[in-house]
């Protein structure tokens, strides 16, 4: 019992130290912020309020098979995309992508703002994750209530 307690103590200390070094280790790419010219782009708010279902999982916002941002539960993210028609998807860390049937194909225009919510639907053998476009009137109370996730 004594050896087990000692092992747990050392494991906890090691995990704490490794987490601390990860948070203090910043690369030059993360510290230098390159200003993004957003004048000719569309602004997209992605709001996640999935409740208890999958609340511990960070969902990823994918645009045209490119991961744009991780969104925690009860948070929102802002991404900028070029004008045109895009395929918007939401996925988890363990799945490379979601089926095309769940993708939101949406044309966007420069200078306009769009709002989407992430949804999770429980199925018999898994969970479906999808995005849905919402209006400003639906999104504004959620944006005021939730915190913003910073996209890398």
Among all chains, which residue has been given the structure tokens 């991404």?
A: 79
CATH of the domain at 139: 2.60.40.1120
2 part of a folded domain: no
DSSP string covering 112-146, please?
A: -EEEEEEEEEEETTEEEEEEEEE-HHHHHHHHHHS
51: left (phi over 0), alpha (psi -120 to 50) or beta: left
Domain limits at 109? Answer: 36-148
Q: Where does the pLDDT of residue 33 fall: very low under 50, low under 70, confident under 90, or very high at 90 and above? A: low
Contact partners, residue 66, CB within 8 Å, separation at least 6: none
- In the prediction, which pLDDT does 77 show? 92
How confident is the model over 48-61, as pLDDT tens digits?
Answer: 887 777 677 778 88
SS3 124: coil
27 part of a folded domain: no
How confident is the model over 91-117, as pLDDT tens digits?
Answer: 887 666 556 667 889 999 999 999 999
Overall domain count for the chain: 1
- pLDDT higher than 50, residue 32: no
Q: Where does the pLDDT of residue 80 fall: very low under 50, low under 70, confident under 90, or very high at 90 and above? A: very high
- In the prediction, which pLDDT does 25 show? 37
- In the prediction, which pLDDT does 134 show? 94
């Amino acid at each position: 019992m004594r050896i087990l307690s000692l092992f747990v103590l050392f494991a906890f200390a090691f995990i704490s130290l490794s987490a601390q070094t990860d948070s203090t280790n910043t690369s030059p790419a993360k510290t230098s912020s390159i200003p993004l010219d957003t004048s000719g782009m569309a602004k997209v708010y992605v709001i996640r309020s999935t409740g208890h279902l999958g609340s511990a999982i960070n969902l990823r916002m994918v645009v045209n098979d490119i991961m744009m941002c991780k969104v925690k539960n009860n948070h929102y993210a802002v991404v900028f995309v070029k004008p045109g028609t895009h395929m918007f998807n939401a996925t988890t860390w363990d799945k490379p992508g979601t089926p095309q049937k769940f993708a939101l194909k949406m044309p966007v225009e420069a200078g306009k703002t769009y709002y989407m919510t992430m949804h999770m639907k429980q199925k018999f053998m898994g969970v479906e994750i999808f995005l849905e476009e919402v209006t400003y009137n639906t999104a504004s109370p959620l944006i005021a209530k939730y915190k913003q996730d910073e996209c890398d």
